[in-house]
Amino acid sequence: MASERHAGPIGKAAKRSGMATIASLAEKVGLPFEGDGTLEISGVSHLNRAREGDLSFVQSEAYVKQALDSPARAVIAPEGMDVPGKTVIRSPYPQLTLARITTLLHPLPERKTGIDPRAAIGEGCRIAPSATIHPMAVAAEGVAIGERSEVYPGVYLGVGVVVGDDCVLHANVTVEWGCRIGNRVVIYAGTVIGSDGFGFLPHEGRHEKIPHVGNVVIEDDVEIGANCAIDRSTYRSTVIGKGTKMDNLVHIAHNVDVGPYSLFSGQTGIAGTSKVGEYFTIGGQAGVAGHLELADRITVGPKSIMTRPGTPGEIYYGFPARPAHQWRQSIAQFNALPRLVNRINRLLGSKTEDSEQ
C-alpha cells in the first residue's frame, strides 16, 4: 500500500449511495490522508464492530492494537500515531471528524418543500416557501415557520407559535400557544413545549390553579430528545439557552432559565424557578431543587440532587449533592463502617469475657 501524503482534490466525490473514496472524504473535511486514496468507504463504525469497508477512528495509543486487529482498512488518527497497514486520515479530533464524515456517507433524503394538502393550517400563518409541512401536521392561527424548517406528521403548533429557520420538529411534537423556537433547533418525537407548570395554591381545602400566561423560549442550536416536557412560565418565559442539548425524558419546570451550551442526560429535571449557569452538565436521573441560582460550568453527577448554588466549575455528587472530593470521602467512610462495627464488637466481646472472669 502506498504511503504518500495527499491533501489535494483527489478521487471521486461522495456518492448519495453512501460510498466514497478516502481522498474525496479527506478533501471534504479539509484534512490530509496517508495511504490509498482510491480506497472506497461504505460506512462508519467503532473499531470493535467495523467491517472491511468501514471507516473508524483511533483516539489514543491505547486503541492502536485494536485498530491493527480490526478488519477496517482505514482509520482516522492524530498526527504522529503509527497505524501500519492502514490508510489514515490525519485529524487532531478523530471522533469529531468521524461524526462529520458520517453525515457525508449518510446524507438526509431529499424532501419536497411546501405544505401537504392534508396538513391543517390556520388563518394568518406565515410559512416560508422553502419549509416542509408533512401530512396531519397542525398549525393554529398566526403560526410562523422559517426557511427550510421541517414539520413532521402529528406536530401541533399552537396559536402564535414562532419556529425559526432550519428547524426539524419530529412526529407528534407539541408546541403550545405563544412559544418561540429559534433557528436550527431539533425536537424529537413526543416532546411537549409549553404545557402549564405545576402551580397550585392551597385554599380552603382545595388546590387552586395558578394561571400560566408566560411562554417557553428555545434559543438557537438547541436539540431536545424524545418525550421531554418543558413547562411554560407563570408570567414571563422559561428559557433554554443556545446550544443546549437534551437527552430523552428530561423535564424542565416553569420559570426555569437554562444557561447556554448545557447538557442534560436522560431522566433529569430542573425544579421550578431555578436558574442554571452556562455549560451546566447533569448526569442521568439527577435533578436540581427549586428556586436556586447555580454557578457556571457546574456538573451534577448521576442520581444526585443539587440543593445549593455551588461553586463555578465544581463537580457534585450525592443527595444532597456535595463536592466530588467530599462525596468520595463520605463513601469511603461509609464503606468502612462494617469493619469498624466488627472491631467494636470484638472489643466489647473481649471486655465482656474479662468481666465474667
Catalytic residues: 254
DSSP state of 293: B
C-alpha 91/C-alpha 83 separation (Å) is 13
With CA atoms as reference, report the closest residue to 264 among 279, 274, 253, 275. 279
User: Cell 436521573 appears where?
Assistant: 285
34-51 burial, b if ≥16 CB within 10 A, otherwise e?
Answer: bbbbebbbebbbebeebe
Residue partners of 1: CB distance under 8 A and separation at least 6: 35, 36, 85, 87
Grid cell of 234 as nine digits: 407563570
Output 17-25 pairs: Cβ under 8 A, ≥24 positions apart.
18/42, 18/43, 18/105, 18/106, 19/105, 20/104, 20/105, 22/55, 22/74, 22/87, 22/89, 25/55, 25/89, 25/101, 25/104, 25/105
